[in-house]
């Protein structure tokens, strides 16, 4: 799974051949979350959270919002532009 970058030391990834809608997986220290991007402008939507605190999720969301264009571009690179928001 391609790593986009790290948000406060949490790994932000996009799985190849993953399902719609455009989203990222975030993992850190046994915690995991899935955030739907709603490209190209958001809003972000938490689909799943396993173990991240509310404050850690807020930091992750801030990072994703600041890097939303990068996340959407990476999604398109792996899944094509026509699969952003399905």
Q: What is the DSSP letter of 81?
A: G
pLDDT of 84 > 60? The answer is no
Q: How far apart are CA 86 and CA 29, in angstroms?
A: 31
pLDDT of 1 > 80? The answer is no
Q: What is the pLDDT of residues 16-57, one digit of tens each?
A: 888 899 999 999 999 999 999 999 999 999 999 999 999 999
Alpha helices (H) in the chain, listed in sequence order: 54-66, 68-79
pLDDT of 68 > 70? The answer is yes
Query: Residue 63: phi, psi to the nearest 5?
Result: -65, -45
- Rounded percentage of the chain residues whose pLDDT exceeds 90: 78
Is-contact 75 34, C-beta < 8 A?
A: no
pLDDT of 64 > 80? The answer is yes
Task: Give the chain's mean pLDDT.
Answer: 91
43 cis-preceded (ω within 30 degrees of 0): yes
């Amino acid at each position: 799974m391609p790593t986009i970058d790290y948000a406060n030391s949490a790994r932000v990834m996009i799985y190849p051949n993953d399902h719609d809608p455009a989203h990222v997986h975030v993992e850190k220290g046994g915690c995991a979350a899935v955030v739907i991007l709603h490209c190209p402008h958001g809003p972000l939507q938490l689909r799943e959270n396993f173990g991240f605190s509310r404050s850690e999720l807020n930091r992750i969301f801030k990072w994703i919002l600041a890097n939303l264009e990068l996340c959407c571009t990476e999604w398109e690179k792996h899944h094509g532009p026509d699969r952003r928001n399905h």
